[in-house]
Amino acid sequence: MPRRNFATIARHVLGAKYDLSLATIDRPEAQRLNKQYRGRDKATNILSFPLAPDVGEILLCLPLIRAEAVANGKKFTDYCRYLFIHGLLHLKGFVHGSKMEAEEKRLDAFFDHHEQTHRHRPRHRHRGRADRGLRTRRGK
């Protein structure tokens, strides 16, 4: 999934002024952080950390996300988008439940349609407006 899509989704969900950092991590790191911060000694596909009212970080464990997508017969990019939305909603203050699930489904359907209708637009090589406010880094 291109970084531009992540930035567009983040801006839509959290607002243009939210400062979001996005990083990828491997399974051992996902397990270590999940144990440290959530008390669960197993790898997790996504972790969200609100750092301030308008600052947060999302960590994606791409190897686990890919394996889960394959196991559940989903496209990797679709599942990754869904989990990213899930993490954004946690940063926005949502907790697991029917309201969060409904909002995840609504946003996922919206961005699925958005990606389908904008798939063939030419891509620019420079960092455009959609990339503002989203920093990315690769973990281990």
Task: Flag residues of the chain having pLDDT under 70.
Answer: 1-4, 114-140
Looking at residue 7, which CATH number applies to its domain? 3.40.390.30
> Does residue 17 lie within any of the structural domains?
yes
pLDDT at 98: 94
At position 45, the amino acid (one-letter code) is: N
Domain assignment of residue 131, yes or no: no
Please indicate, yes or no, if residue 40 is contained in any of the structural domains.
yes
- The predicted pLDDT at position 25 comes to 97
Is residue 136 situated within a structural domain? no
Range of the domain at 80: 3-119
Classify residue 133: in a domain, yes or no.
no
Reported as a single tens digit per residue, the pLDDT across 71-101 is 999 999 999 999 999 999 999 999 999 999 9
| Full-model pTM | 0.79
Query: Into how many domains does the chain fold?
Result: 1
